[in-house]
Homo-oligomer: A and B are copies of this chain.
């Protein structure tokens, strides 16, 4: 597991209680444990709790636990209930949650008249396609934004505690209002999910011969369509207003392009289509890169036989050449008895890698930035 730099939280906090030991709860637990924090786990499912404890994400709760910080990691539809219960049970603790929607739980808590001085909603922008404690990983927060929704009442020390949590886990704290947060995730997460799902849904009944022509483009476009329906229905229902607003805009854009293509030789039709693609160019270029990283690597492709021994020899050779592999991807060609190993390296070592491997008899299929 990742050995994090000893964090601030271990110094300021006696113990941290995590309610809900699924993917996010167990991942936070794993990371905090590495960090020297006493982590108390709770889950309505004894099996899930046991798994997370066995996994090293924390210990089961005991009489007299007095956490300084409670992190609610339950599904969105029970977040408000859980936050209210924890605030009442641990009146001296700061309580946060990690739900992907921030306004609806806050409204619900206000409707109930809960004293929210000790509550700060937050949302780490991290996750995996696979859920549950079994998929937990201490490093999923590294370099990811962690949204913190303070309000006017929030005491400075409480805010600092949540910021320490985010920083200790390697995340980047970002302050936003709940409204800003919900509009933002509708745009960059919830609407893309709906669109990818609906696009992929069209393949459910399509002829197999048509799908045989699918390439990497459509696979990428629809990858997140593999997400779990249960969680997503809760998220979409809880953030319905901003999602609907964006879906309506998108439906209008779709209709405009479809109308233009109904008569592609009409004046302005091709311009409408070109503008859509061009605006897409502009938009996609504005998205931040992987992990917020912008470092550039050089990539080259080596042809390898479809055998693990070959890869061992390849990495052995790269080690002898003192070339560090920054990224690696193996592509298979069914029918062909070879794979394409796409290797990314520091630009300074590219020439050495390509020349050295060629000299050792490797076939280099191409090098590109």
Q: Report which A residues bind B (CB closer than 8 A).
A: 1-4, 125-127, 130, 134-135, 137-139, 142-145, 147, 170, 172, 174, 176, 180-181, 183-185, 187-189, 191-204, 206-230, 232-233, 236-237, 240, 243-244, 246-251, 253-255, 257-258, 261-262, 264-265, 269-270, 273-274, 276-288, 290-293, 301, 303, 306-309, 311-319, 323-336, 338, 340, 363, 365-366, 368
The residue of chain B having its C-beta at the shortest distance from the C-beta of A167 within the complex is: B335
Chain B residues with CB below 8 A from A255, complex form = 251
A233 touches B183 (CB 8 A): no
Residue among B135, B200, B276 making CB contact with A198, cutoff 8 Å: B276
How close is A22's CB to chain B, nearest CB, in angstroms? 15
- CB of A288 within 8 A of CB of B214, answer yes
Docked Cα-Cα span, A145 to B262, in Å, equals 29
| Given A211-B288, A336-B142, residue A203 in contact with residue B311 (CB < 8 A) | no
Which residues on B sit within 8 Å (CB–CB) of A176? 209
> Would you list 10 pairs from A and B whose C-beta atoms are within 8 A, ordered by A residue?
A135-B368, A139-B333, A143-B332, A195-B254, A197-B279, A223-B284, A225-B280, A225-B283, A232-B273, A326-B332
How far is the CB of A356 from the nearest CB of chain B, in Å?
12
Q: A240-B261, A240-B262 are in contact. Are A324 and B338 (CB under 8 A)?
A: no
Find chain B residues with CB under 8 A from A292 CB. 212, 334
Q: Tell me, in angstroms, the Cα distance from A334 to B222 when the chains sit together.
A: 27
- Kindly list chain B residues whose C-beta atoms are within 8 Å of the C-beta of A180: 209-210
Which residues of chain B have C-beta atoms less than 8 A from A315's C-beta? 308-309, 311-316
Task: Considering the complex, give the chain B residue whose CB is closest to the CB of A191.
Answer: B199
Question: In the docked arrangement, what's the CA distance between A317 and B2, Å?
Answer: 20
A311 close to B328 (CB less than 8 A)? yes
Closest B residue, CB atoms, query A369: B130
CA distance A218 to B233 in the complex (A): 18
In the complex, the chain B residue whose C-beta lies closest to that of A246 is: B202
Chain B residue contacts of A233, Cβ below 8 A: 270, 273-274, 277
Q: For residue A134, give the distance in angstroms from its CB to the closest CB of chain B.
A: 7
User: Smallest distance from the beta carbon of A364 to chain B beta carbons, Å?
Assistant: 8
CB distance A185 to B213 under 8 Å? yes
Nearest residue, chain B, Cβ from A184: B210
Contact (Cβ within 8 A) A333 B142: yes
* Bound-state Cα–Cα, A281 to B228, Å: 8
Q: Which residue of B lies closest to A327 (CB)?
A: B330
> Are the CB atoms of A287 and B222 closer together than 8 Å?
yes
Known pairs A125-B213, A197-B281 / 12 extra A-B pairs, C-beta < 8 Å: A142-B334, A143-B335, A180-B209, A191-B202, A196-B221, A196-B280, A214-B287, A225-B284, A226-B281, A290-B331, A308-B318, A312-B313
Which B residues touch A135, using CB under 8 A?
Answer: 366, 368
- What is the minimal beta-carbon distance from A132 to any residue of chain B, in angstroms? 10
| A202 in contact with B250 (CB, 8 Å) | yes
| Assembled-state Cα–Cα distance A137/B364 (Å) | 12
- Inter-subunit contact B203/A283 (CB<8 Å): yes
Q: Is the CB of A316 within 8 A of B326?
A: no
The answer to whether B254 and A291 touch across the interface, beta carbons within 8 angstroms, is: no
A338's closest neighbor in chain B, by CB? B2
